[in-house]
Structure 1
Amino acid sequence: MKFYEFFIAWRYITANIKQSLIIAGAVGIGVSIIIFVPSINLSFFNDLIDRTVASAPHITITKEIDTFQRDIRVLDREFEEDLLLVDQTQTRRRDINSYRRVLSEIEPINGIVAAAPFASGQGIIVRGAEERGVSIRGIIPEREINIINIQDDIVRGRILDLGTNDIVIGVELAEELNVDLEDRVTLTGPRGTNRTFKIVGIFSTGLKGPDETQIYIELNAAQQLLDLGNDVTGIGVSIADIYKANEISERIENATGLDATNWIEDNRQILEQIERFRLIVAFINFLIIFAAASSITSVFILLISAKSKEIGILKSMGAKNFSIMSVFLIQAMISSVVGYLGGVIGAKLLIEWYSYILSTATETFLTTEIPELTLNTQYAFIALFYSLLASFLASIIPAYQAAKLNPVEAINA
């Protein structure tokens, strides 16, 4: 390429500012959407995955499920006779005994960071006239903090050094019961066992579900309340690479003979929805690029028609076909780069605006914390590639047509 080609291309840009702005605007709008939509959704998806793996073990070890038969009688109260006898199959997961042996078997497995036993079940928490259904989780705090990110969620009080009569509850539940640190509550297990606990910690995960229903007590206290003896409900496992959960789960099952489910299996529907959404976004991006390219092509066809006489003069002065093509391709690339820069700025402003809107509407979401929304640099580079490619492909045909113009016909047109 020669310098005069850049010079002529720049003259065309400045002399036809309206057409140049149309090209830059088409590219800019496309770039803004290509960056904004995926960046927003990636922020939400990453936050969702982070919260999912932080609020539950990466892998949960449990014992096989028992299947048993149960007869259900439907009675006619008037005649006190059986109307129907239902033979119903029910299932119940067995508890793990000798959990210390299981810990010794799994901790040497490569990729496992930590493991912690737990006892879980349903119960009712009572404070005065207020009572709520809760999910009980008995833990060894020193182990549990390496599995679930609860230590960072504590907003008041503590969870380490949890005594047998201590309890940690969520901030939403504390507000509903109108309690605070040092207050006492009564916890009733599924078999009617009652026990009084002192509140020593209050946590906030940012998710209304756990903050309203989840409570933590010491493992031995939970075993007594849930009538488990020395057994545990399961063992939570934390791993170094969360995307190797399936592989490590299989190793655990081979080593222990127990069932090992992981966060990928538990959240398969969510992950599949994320993949489907990414495909939809990719298709939308294609449509945006196609629309921008169509606009650029239309502008260049009109521009070349208006500049046909000048093109004929250049060719009569010895300009080669390649030089004529280069003039219009350079013009397209410069306009595209300007549009790209404007699109990046526009995407950044859109993200800031959307973050502000979300921060003022947290009550409409199932979370009290909105994820930090950031402009994803990967999508910015993808948008740069696609914008330049679209501009090049959209302008190459009109540029080729311009290069093929007969100089005599072009001058006389």
Structure 2
Amino acid sequence: MLYVLKFALRYLASSKLQTGLLVLGVAIGVFVFVFISALIGGLGSYLVDRTVGDIAHVTLEAPKRDATLISGEPNGSAVVFQKATAQREVLRTGDIFLPLIEEMEGVKAASPQIVGNGFVIRGQSRAPVYVTGVEPGKVSAIADIRGKLVSGSDRLTNSSILIGASLASDLGVGVGQIITLQSDRDVERSLMIAGIFSLGVETLDARSAFVSIAAARSLFDLDQGISRIEIKLNDLNSAELFADRIAAATGLEATPWTENNAQLLDGLRAQANSGDLIKAFSLITIVIGVASALLLSTYRRRPEIGIMRAFGASRMFVVSVFVFQGMLVGLIGGVLGAGAGYLVMSPFPVPEEAASGGFPIDVRQGDYLLAIVLTVIGAIIASILPARAAAKVDPVEVIGQ
């Protein structure tokens, strides 16, 4: 094995320019591989963070009461329970389940909420709004209201409100001013604007308002219970498994964020498939390059191979020399390409810190080890054809030329 390695190194060192170009080609292919991995992975993380970052990963609600058969009559008629159109689903056992949920592994935050529709009134202006009642200390538990404030603060009291920037602009109001909030139960309250936020989503910034959960109770005429519990997880990718687990433990309806974002997931899968295709082409390029260079080396070294065979070198020895050449080229080029990729991509901020419209490259998702391993395997496979050609050299024929 030592002699095989020596011959492989000797062959590579004897044609420094060819070997250098071959290693450079492999390194470029690996660089493309890790760059595409980091770019596709980073772009996926960026899109998910921007889309899912300010919404609940799992939402718990009371089981929906659909039309059900209560009793049947002998004459074939039936009595069916049908939910009234104005009936509001209420989770009356939320306070019981909340401590259990907050202690579950993987839960980052849990926020009980009362939600409903209404209108914000300022003078002659009237704008529809979706109202969310939250506990004052959990305003930013799900959506990062505190980090997205344009002005004011996120401190809520029973007489204050937080509204979106677009809504504030449409009404021409600012922090400290009084507005009237009318719920869909025709209950009105005068509230002071404590803060104005901008989540970066126009529909949210133009139609969202947050009040204290106590204020929401009076607005929506709800003496007890809540509308839902929103849960934020440490790992948003585990939302479906967590939703199944919490639904089994509580008997409530648990909806993961993936259920309402199927189009986003389809787009991410298509994006990942495109990246895999590009990476496959880069590996194919590496294999073709290594195979071509080693085939050329085989034909150039036919006399040397013939002499080795005449002195008793076995076909397996000759095959091993060329396979080792391919392996060394793949290993050296793979390490250089992966290292260059890491150095080039390191200055870029990770997706969570990337500015809007920036270049969301995630250096952590470069697949460096995978790139090196696949490159070495590809180079070994590429060397098999030249190695077999070298092993078939007839020493009598070659030496006699």
Please state which band the TM-score falls in when normalised by the shorter chain: 0.7 to 0.9
Distance 1:43 1:129, change over 3 A: farther
Amino acid at match of 1:310: E
Q: Aligned partners of 2:124 and 2:399: how far apart in 1?
A: 95
Residue 303 of structure 1 corresponds to 297
Correspondence 1:350-389 to 2 at 5 A: 351=345, 368=356, 370=358, 373-376=361-364, 379-389=367-377
Question: Which of 86, 89, 99 is equivalent to 1:95?
Answer: 89
Correspondence 1:200-215 to 2 at 5 A: 200-205=194-199, 207=201, 209-215=203-209
Residue 74 of structure 2 corresponds to none
Amino acid at match of 1:296: V
- 8 Å contact kept, 1:116–1:140: yes
Distance 1:263 1:371, change over 3 A: farther
Correspondence 1:135-174 to 2 at 5 A: 135-154=130-149, 156-160=151-155, 162-171=156-165, 173-174=167-168
Superposition misfits of 4+ residues, deviation over 6 angstroms: 89-93, 128-131, 352-356
- 8 Å contact kept, 1:23–1:336: no
Residue-by-residue CA offset, 1:232-263 (whole Å, 9 max, x unaligned): 33222345665554455445545655432222
Residue 20 of structure 1 corresponds to 19
Q: Aligned partners of 1:172 and 1:339: how far apart in 2?
A: 53
- SS for the counterpart of 1:215 is strand
In the TM superposition, residue 395 of structure 1 has moved relative to its aligned partner by 0.6
1:117 paired to 2:116? no
In the TM superposition, residue 221 of structure 1 has moved relative to its aligned partner by 2.2
In the TM superposition, residue 391 of structure 1 has moved relative to its aligned partner by 0.3
In the TM superposition, residue 40 of structure 1 has moved relative to its aligned partner by 1.7
1:40 paired to 2:39? yes
Amino acid at match of 1:281: G
In the TM superposition, residue 295 of structure 1 has moved relative to its aligned partner by 2.3
- 8 Å contact kept, 2:346–2:363: no
Q: Aligned partners of 1:299 and 1:174: how far apart in 2?
A: 67
In the TM superposition, residue 317 of structure 1 has moved relative to its aligned partner by 4.0
Q: Aligned partners of 1:313 and 1:93: how far apart in 2?
A: 93
- SS for the counterpart of 1:107 is helix
Q: Aligned partners of 2:40 and 2:393: how far apart in 1?
A: 48
In the TM superposition, residue 346 of structure 1 has moved relative to its aligned partner by 4.8
- 8 Å contact kept, 1:140–1:219: yes
Question: Which of 247, 259, 262 is equivalent to 2:256?
Answer: 262
Distance 1:244 1:384, change over 3 A: closer
In the TM superposition, residue 106 of structure 1 has moved relative to its aligned partner by 5.3
- SS for the counterpart of 1:376 is helix
Structure 2 segments unaligned to the other structure (5+ residues): 68-82
Residue 71 of structure 1 corresponds to none
Distance 1:410 1:176, change over 3 A: farther
Residue 79 of structure 1 corresponds to none
Residue 77 of structure 1 corresponds to none
- SS for the counterpart of 1:181 is coil
- SS for the counterpart of 2:25 is helix
Distance 1:104 1:293, change over 3 A: same
Distance 1:39 1:211, change over 3 A: farther
In the TM superposition, residue 390 of structure 1 has moved relative to its aligned partner by 0.4
Q: Aligned partners of 2:22 and 2:55: how far apart in 1?
A: 50
- SS for the counterpart of 2:367 is helix
Distance 1:320 1:58, change over 3 A: same
In the TM superposition, residue 104 of structure 1 has moved relative to its aligned partner by 0.7
- SS for the counterpart of 1:56 is coil
- 8 Å contact kept, 2:159–2:191: yes
Residue-by-residue CA offset, 1:27-47 (whole Å, 9 max, x unaligned): 223212221222222223334
- 8 Å contact kept, 1:47–1:371: no
Q: Aligned partners of 2:264 and 2:5: how far apart in 1?
A: 51
After alignment, is 20-29 or 128-137 more displaced? 128-137
Distance 1:353 1:243, change over 3 A: closer
Question: Which of 215, 220, 226 is equivalent to 1:232?
Answer: 226
Q: Aligned partners of 1:9 and 1:255: how far apart in 2?
A: 63
- 8 Å contact kept, 1:167–1:216: yes
Q: Aligned partners of 2:392 and 2:154: how far apart in 1?
A: 78
Residue 291 of structure 1 corresponds to 285
User: What is the identity percentage for the equivalent residue pairs of Structure 1 and Structure 2?
Assistant: 28
In the TM superposition, residue 399 of structure 1 has moved relative to its aligned partner by 1.4
Distance 1:329 1:174, change over 3 A: farther
1:9 paired to 2:12? no
Distance 1:254 1:409, change over 3 A: closer
Q: Aligned partners of 1:93 and 1:282: how far apart in 2?
A: 50
Structure 1 segments unaligned to the other structure (5+ residues): 69-88, 363-367
Residue-by-residue CA offset, 1:55-106 (whole Å, 9 max, x unaligned): 22332222344669xxxxxxxxxxxxxxxxxxxx996773316x3x332145
Correspondence 1:324-339 to 2 at 5 A: 324-339=318-333
Q: Aligned partners of 1:372 and 1:144: how far apart in 2?
A: 28
- 8 Å contact kept, 1:168–1:215: yes
Residue 393 of structure 1 corresponds to 381
| Count of paired positions | 381
TM-score (norm 2): 0.77
Q: Aligned partners of 1:62 and 1:111: how far apart in 2?
A: 18
RMSD after superposition: 3.9
